[in-house]
Amino acid sequence: MPEGLINGARDYGKRTDGSKKGDGYFGALKRPDGAVSTELSVGVNLGGEEREIPLLVPTLTKGEIDHLLSGKAPTKEIIRKSVEHARARLSNKQDPYAGAGERVAPPTED
């Protein structure tokens, strides 16, 4: 089996809560250093509870995604969009992280 695959699926490691990382909303995105990221996360307070949520969400612009992939800290606007996205998903009883079949194409312009 190719390196990085477990039972035929990519293994991206685990989140800080121990749950398995997935393909994210955009799949594997190449970083400037040649590595890839599928999920980048941030800890926020949602409803009085500290929770980890994805930063790479469908509402980001190409510039915002590039900013994160370059290793820079998330801006207030990126965090705002991530929190808004997580709240909407949680209100619909969905996990904030992308599930199977939820991949979308990353934006190609700002």
Kindly report the pTM of this predicted structure. 0.86
What is residue 9's predicted lDDT score, i.e. its pLDDT? 54
Considering the domain boundaries, does residue 64 fall inside one?
yes
- State the residue range of the domain holding 16: 5-91
> What's the domain count of the chain?
1
Question: Could you tell me the two tokens for 81?
Answer: 């969009």
Helix and strand counts by DSSP (H, E) for the chain: 2, 6
Asked, for residue 49, whether it belongs to a domain, the answer is: yes
Mean pLDDT to the nearest integer, 69-74: 97
Is residue 108 in some structural domain? Answer: no
Using one digit for the tens of pLDDT, what is the confidence trace for 2-48? Answer: 345 444 457 888 888 888 888 999 999 999 999 999 999 999 999 89
pLDDT of residue 47: 86
3-class secondary-structure state, position 84: helix
pLDDT at 8: 44
pLDDT tens string 88-108: 999 999 999 999 899 999 999
Q: Is residue 45 part of a domain?
A: yes
One-letter amino acid for residue 53 of the chain: I
**Is residue 104 included in any domain, yes or no?**
no
CA–CA separation, 14 and 55 (whole Å) = 16
